Amino acid sequence: MTQTTLPLKTLLGLITCNLVWSLHPTLTKFVLEDFNSAHTAWLRYTSALIAFIAVSIGLKLCKHPFSLKNPVQSNALRLSDWGLLSLLGFLTFCYSPLLQIIGLSSSHATDNSLIIAMEPLATVFLAWIFLRERLHAQHWVSFVLALAGFTLLTGLTPARLSQGIDGHLLGNLIMLASLIGEASYSILSRKLLIRFHPLKIFGISLALGVAFLTVLVFVTNGFPSLEEFHLKSCIGILVMGPIGTALAYFYWMTALTEAPVASLAITLFIQPVMGTIFGHLFLGDHLTWIQGLGGGLILLGVIAQSKRRSPL
């Protein structure tokens, strides 16, 4: 039965998950030292898929009683389901990571940490467009605050635009565009969750996304060579893929059986804060006071929006 508060063990586990996720922008920078953007995305999600399959087989062999609230697992996939899953896989595990990593390659890990914090706002915006969910005044205030924060973080001023778009600005704009893919997961999975277990949706869409990435990487770049692997990039791939994508997601879904979504969502605010700190410590990134103000406005906008949303 779902509790109203988080047990200490679960809270510590969720904090650990968010600390791992907050390391992703910095670790991506490490991996980009050895690989291009396409190879980095492919290595992360391919390794995550392998780990996900291994964990799934392990749970099945040991007959682990993993379950979620009102799970549905026996329905057969219809053609329309495969269409939704294909779109889900492409947007979330192909389009989004490619754009995010391409943008990050021209920007900073600290910028990435703060921009990714805007994902809940992107989800609300897509729900308004495609699901016709009503937006309240508080949502619009959140959008204005977040966009103002993004403008300050990126230095998006008329004077700067008149000089052309530099790499840093372009990178941040690309990362902002990548949020459409991340946010689409919540929107597109809405109909599927009525009939299928969340982990089934995640596993199939991840596999399809990796398939799209594999074709794209093979056609455009070929596969990475073993000679390109170094200790730093190997650690980065291990933490971002098997640990940060597969295992952390398993743990997050398990935590859903113990506490409401609202309690879990609060821990997500660890990511932009710690991501900024990790970027400063390991990469020497720093924010000017104007960029810091922009990051603060982004977080304020996200917090204002999160207080409006009710638990699922």
**Token output for 15:** 């904090």
Cα gap 253→260, rounded to integer Å: 11
User: What is the predicted pLDDT for the residue at 184?
Assistant: 87
pLDDT of residue 258: 65
Give the integer Cα–Cα distance in Å for 38 and 208: 16
User: For residue 2, what pLDDT is reported?
Assistant: 46
Prediction pTM value: 0.84
Q: In angstroms, how far is CA 236 from the centroid of its own chain?
A: 16
Higher pLDDT, 104 or 257: 104
Rounded to an integer, the average pLDDT of 276-283 is: 90
309 pLDDT exceeds 50? no
Nearest to 247 by CA among 58, 35, 1: 58
Mean pLDDT of 41-67: 86
pLDDT of 222 > 80? The answer is: yes
User: Residues 179-204: what's their mean pLDDT?
Assistant: 86
Q: What is the pLDDT of residue 206?
A: 95
11-37 pLDDT tens trace: 888 889 989 999 999 999 999 999 999
3-state SS, residue 64: coil
Mean predicted lDDT score pLDDT of the chain: 83
Tokens, residue 312 = 């699922």
Residue 311 has a pLDDT of 38
Mean pLDDT within 212-217:
94
Q: Average pLDDT for residues 186-192, to the nearest whole number?
A: 83
Cα of 72 vs its chain's centroid, Å:
25
Name the more confident of 98 and 69: 98
Q: Are 64 and 135 in contact (CB under 8 A)?
A: no
More confident residue, 55 or 243: 243
Residues near 27 by beta carbon (within 8 Å), at least 6 away in sequence: 235, 236, 239, 240
pLDDT in tens, 236-266: 999 999 999 999 888 887 776 666 665 666 7
